[in-house]
Amino acid sequence: MFPSTFDYKRAETVSEAIRLLNEHGEDAKLLAGGHSLLPAMKLRMNRPTMLIDISKAGLTGISDLGDKIQIGACTTHAELETDKIIQHNLPMMAKAASKIGDPQVRNRGTIGGSLAHADPAADWPGVVLALGATIHVAGPDGERAIAADDFFISIFTTALKEGEIITAIDIPKMKQKASAAYVKFEQPASRYAIVGCAVNAEMNGPMCADIRIAFNGVSGAAFRDTALEEKLKGQKLDEESVNAACKEAAEGRHIMSDHFASDTYRKHLAGVIAERAIHEVL
């Protein structure tokens, strides 16, 4: 498996990367970690004539900004797994990072690349939805911020406009009485999620004050299950109430069916995995 012929340029800054994207248009692709793009190129499912490397464009790093944590788009999964700021403030992110692929993937793959690629089975889309993230992008028309709730459109499709680049992701710090968990049923070879569920809940004793529940691997794009959230919000969360609510997880959604799992099996799994994630939070 060999890719078709392409040229390569390394962008030293975000503005240079945007300029190169604008010059080469649809023939150009951004290269960060490359773990999504390069396999597609080897299979010739994607045939860019220009690769623009943004790995050295100043998009790495994790910063504590007081009420939120800011993550550079080219920060690797391994850095998110081991960073002390993430482990202390957003432990669910560190744990989710540890579940991605294998050490080679975690050491090269980036959070921004994963979000931009928007593979429905990837882990980060569900995680950032549950955590209420804001995704910062830059492009020919300047900079803008996109709520994670508005970012994922459909399979491999996001709210990014032509020529835009993800530059950073802001994650609000967890509230004092909140906890979060990410649980997935994975394909054992790739560790992609057949069903993944991220839960972020604020509790007042046994009562659920607020909750965000997001799925990946279930439908064509990661999504928040707002109907399930409403069933649990304001309720006492115990084994009986959680089990009853989760039986209707992903209700009304188009469920994927493939050689890993049928739509019926995925729908059942969504409830099982959601229940496990909620109990992990509790």
Question: What is the pLDDT tens value at each position of the chain, 282 positions in all?
Answer: 788 899 999 999 999 999 999 999 889 999 999 888 888 899 898 899 999 999 999 999 999 999 999 999 999 999 999 999 999 999 999 999 999 999 999 999 999 999 999 999 999 999 999 999 999 999 999 999 999 999 999 999 999 999 999 999 999 999 999 999 999 999 999 999 999 999 999 999 999 999 999 999 999 999 999 999 999 999 999 999 999 999 999 999 999 999 999 999 999 999 999 999 999 999
In sequence order, which ranges of 11-149 are alpha helices (DSSP H)? 14-24, 37-42, 77-82, 84-89, 91-98, 103-108, 111-117, 124-130
Q: Domains in the chain, start-ordered, CATH in brackets? A: 7-52 (3.30.43.10), 62-172 (3.30.465.10), 179-281 (3.30.390.50)
For residue 90, count other CB atoms closer than 10 A to its CB.
Answer: 24
Distance CA 204, CA 162 (A): 44
Distance CA 217, CA 125 (A): 10
For residue 34, count other CB atoms closer than 10 A to its CB.
Answer: 18
